[in-house]
Structure 1
């Protein structure tokens, strides 16, 4: 690794400057540091205080959040996290998977671009924070950064708030790096094919009568206000169905994780799977194309609450299809997005060697 040095013609008291490089920063939603009450409260407070997530006026929302929700919900959320916690590593599955994704991307990026790049990850809520990681990357010499929020479909409450946090962190930098934020990848052919392959691999010859594509929910009002998330989810489902070669009525689009009393995008997954069972669809599979990593919403909500609703309504066989996580095909999708956005900033390592007169 190149260490920081004083510029060649600078005076003796000039500070050392790290050699310039390009940063690749991926951002996931976040995770509590632990599942105890105070860890959960800190995490939920940061998450539910985000105006992109809950856009009610602070005078109306904060008393409810601080006085009621954060008194009770850390206990129930903590119990749910404990059920899925990676006790060997002392962290949530989301952290374990995001780190594995980063390590795989780092290996691929270094093989392609050598020491021209630095690959890191941050969390929108919790640790490692966007601010902490950006500070470290800038100190290491990253003069340009490709920022990839790990959300295939764009939403104000996911992609936009991740970008917001990056921009806030940039405001603290004396010497700001150039930044490119990546577009969502909900309709990339390689992403759709990776999803289709994961369905085929997991089903392994089984033939459920329905595949439910369950996306994280949001208030229906956001769609009416111009958020494209709902439309992008629908397109992902349609393209997945086409890639599988299935009839359109074999895959249903639903939305999970409803919160509060406002109407959210419908149909709600937990209600829909129960209705499917009552209609005679006793063998179904569920996939979560909106999540790049398995997390509390997939490992506990889908495999817990939603599975139970299906079975209690008479369902027999419930197959959960894991997220793409750090599967090689998913890493290649991410690399494809990064290549599109890093173009012109770096050149292949072999070309760099040739330009320097190497072998």
Structure 2
């Protein structure tokens, strides 16, 4: 028993014992990721990591990698880089997703330190690109984090988003000699505070009016994933329904659609780009679009929705297209994140 007591008591450690940090609790938020620049090689590195993820493209490697390396990564970095250039934060030399995620982290850090002081450490990582999950986890462990709450910034769960973020965390844990205890947060798509924050953003942007159509555009995924048991489609539908009920709007005002289709197989429908054109042809020339699946504005919202999807609507005769920004670092959104974190910190601080 004496030896055990000595091992647990910093004051009686052997002189050659490695330094033991004061135990901290870590809060680590994770987003999708971003290229480091808009040039060809930055885009190629990012797209290669993203499109090589088996959670994103689940084709056998022998079939997919020759297509990816020989065809897609030869051409797509040019077009993707051009798209990123239209939204790039030139002042900070980074994408809006990076800027917003950093701002979210700063806001969470301020609130967490006000509530728990120096007992907590708040940081962020990206599933693809930098800062990587592995490097940030390693930094937190070296700082003394013995417990970590991991919050993927995806309101709805999907294998290609929440699950792959968790996968990367677990892979990073395998590199640690002394692994911290970890809690992964559940999706928050139906939390009342999240729905309230969404509704407030709609009311603020539309100034209280009820539109003929509000299109809730979610990131798409292959229809096959739904049939394999992925709950994403159902959670998106529930988010739209709860948002409509919270706003007090009649049925039929909010349409749930899916964007960012990739490849030839059938994805979740209706496709946003086609649906907004159909609405215009049906006489709905004044619509609004919101993206409840994204915690931060990014290439899919700032360029795809305000570019390709807006153009599809206008070319079909649409007149007024109102994009409602993501919740980003809105105080109500930060409060939602803090509430999720508090729920997962139970008994730890």
Tell me the TM-score normalised to structure 1 length.
Answer: 0.94
Deviates more, 1:185-194 or 1:11-20: 11-20
Question: How far apart, CA to CA, are the structure 2 residues paired with 1:248 and 1:66?
Answer: 46
Off by >6 Å, runs of 4+ in structure 1: none
Question: Residue 33 of structure 1: which of 32, 36, 47 is its match?
Answer: 36
Aligned to 2:80: 77
Report matched runs for 1:85-104 at 5 Å. 85-104=88-107
- Name the residue aligned to 1:291: 294
Query: For residue 144 of structure 2, what is the aligned residue in structure 1?
Result: 141
Q: Deviations over 1:267-323 (max 9, x none)?
A: 000000000000000000000000000000000000000000000000000000000
Q: 1:122 aligns with which of 121, 125, 138?
A: 125
Q: Partner of 1:357 in structure 2?
A: none
Aligned residues: 341
Q: Counterpart of 2:135?
A: 132
Structure 1: gaps spanning 5 or more residues:
1-5, 347-359
Indicate the residue corresponding to 2:260 in structure 1. 257
Could you tell me whether the CA contact under 8 Å between 2:210 and 2:249 is conserved in 1? no
Are the aligned partners of 2:294 and 2:326 in contact in 1 as well (CA < 8 Å)? yes
Deviation at 1:8, TM superposition (A): 1.1
SS class of match (1:260): coil
Alignment partners' CA distance in 2, 1:250 and 1:174: 54
Distance in 2, matches of 1:276 and 1:75, equals: 32
Preserved contact between residue 213 and residue 286 of structure 1 (Cα < 8 Å): yes
- Specify the alignment match of 2:5 in structure 1: none
What is the CA–CA distance in structure 2 between the aligned matches of 1:227 and 1:260, rounded to whole Å? 19
1:9 corresponding residue in structure 2: 12
Deviation at 1:132, TM superposition (A): 0.4
Contact 1:120/1:133 (8 A) holds in 2? yes
Query: Which of 246, 252, 260 is equivalent to 1:243?
Result: 246
State the shift of 1:207 in Å. Answer: 4.1
For residues 248 and 332 of structure 1, what CA distance do their matches in structure 2 show? 29
For residue 20 of structure 1, what is the aligned residue in structure 2? Answer: 23
Name the CA distance, whole Å, in 1 between partners of 2:294 and 2:100: 12
The answer to whether structure 1 residue 55 and structure 2 residue 67 are counterparts is: no
User: 1:114-137 CA deviation, whole Å, 9 max, x = no partner?
Assistant: 111000000000000000000000
Task: Please report how far the alpha carbon of residue 208 of structure 1 lies from its aligned counterpart in structure 2 after TM superposition.
Answer: 2.5
Q: Deviations over 1:325-347 (max 9, x none)?
A: 0000000000000000001000x
Q: C-alpha displacement at 1:204, in angstroms?
A: 1.2
Tell me, in whole angstroms, the C-alpha distance in 2 between the residues paired with 1:129 and 1:283.
41
Q: Do residues 217 (structure 1) and 220 (structure 2) align?
A: yes
Residue 350 of structure 1 corresponds to which residue in structure 2? none
Distance, in Å, in 2 between the alignment partners of 1:102 and 1:234 is 29
Q: What do residues 99-121 of structure 1 show as CA deviations (whole Å, max 9, x unaligned)?
A: 00000000000011111100000
Distance 2:52 2:225 in 1: 17
- Pairing of 1:164-183 with structure 2 (within 5 A): 164-183=167-186
Gap regions ≥5 residues in structure 2: 1-8
Give the whole-Å Cα distance in 1 for the aligned partners of 2:10 and 2:61: 49
Q: How far apart are the structure 2 equivalents of 1:92 and 1:104?
A: 19
- 2:258/2:270 contact within 8 Å kept: yes
Aligned twin of 1:325: 328
Partner Cα separation in structure 1 for residue 174 and residue 11 of structure 2: 29
1:29-59, Cα deviation, whole Å (9 max, x unpaired): 0000000000000000000000000000000
Task: State the shift of 1:248 in Å.
Answer: 1.4
**Partners of 1:33 and 1:66 in 2: how far apart?**
20
Aligned match of 2:285: 282
TM-score, length of structure 2 as denominator length: 0.97
